[in-house]
Amino acid sequence: MAEQKLRVTLITGRTIDQGVGKELGKGSDKYFDSVAVCFLDPSDIKKLGLKSGMNVQVTSKYGSVVVKAKKYTHGAIPGMIFMPCGLWANIICSADTDSIGMPTFRGFTVEVEPAPNKPVLTLDELLKQEFGK
């Protein structure tokens, strides 16, 4: 029986694809494909009843974003999800800095749920939606 929602710890960081994508241009397809994603452990994918390439909605106290789900292939990360750093991940990050300037980019709890019918917004769509520009 697939679960509706999972509470997991979000980790953000670099991937080589994100690096290549950002250098090709923030508007490039490569950037979109490599950054508007979320990597999950195979066991969590199973729990959520996801199929590869299906969209998921990731929600934190600070925001919510729809990205494509992918399987994490390097090792087991049950209870964690990984998102490449970029606009999509930052929608759900907090600007709280513990008074030293550094926002909370990783290591906090988020909820992830399947979103088969919601689209992943492009960079421009997301900027428009969040900032009106």
Partner 1 sequence: MTKIIKSVVCPICGCLCDDLEVTVENNEIIKMKNGCAVCEAKMVHGYKSEERILEPHIRKDGKLVPVSMDEAINKAAQILTDSKYPLLFGWTSSASETQHVGVELAEELGSALDNCCSVCHGPSVMATQEIGIPTATLGQIRHRADLIVYWACNPWSSHPRHVERYTAFTDGRFEKSEFKDYVQKLKAKASQKKVAATIRRTQVRYQPSRPQSATVEAPPQTLAKAGRKMIVFDVMKTMTAEVADYFVKVEPNRDYEIFGAMRCLVNDQELDVDSVGGIPVDYLKEIADVMVNAEFGAIFFGLGLTQSIGRFRNVELAIALTRDLNRKTKFVVSPMRGHFNVTGANTVFAWQTGYPFALDFSQGYPQYNPGEFTAIDLLRREDNDATLVISADPGAHFPKSALQNMMKYPLITINPDWNAISRLGDVVFPTQWCGIEQAGTAYRMDSVAISLKKVVEAPKGVPTDEEILRRILEKVRTIKAQKTTKENKEPQKEEAPKKRRLKPQEENVKAEGD
Residues in contact with partner 1 by CB under 8 A are 9, 11-16, 18-28, 62-63, 72, 74-77, 80, 82, 85-87, 90-107, 123-124, 127, 130-133
Smallest separation (angstroms) from partner 1 to the CB of 93: 4
User: Given the complex with partner 1, which of 62 and 68 has the nearer CB atom?
Assistant: 62
User: Given the complex with partner 1, which of 68 and 79 has the nearer CB atom?
Assistant: 79
DSSP 8-state symbol, 75: S
Alpha-helix residue ranges (DSSP H) falling in 1-133: 16-24, 29-35, 42-48, 87-90, 123-131
User: Measured between alpha carbons, how far is 20 from 95 in angstroms, rounded to an integer?
Assistant: 27
Smallest separation (angstroms) from partner 1 to the CB of 109: 10
User: Measured between alpha carbons, how far is 83 from 102 in angstroms, rounded to an integer?
Assistant: 18
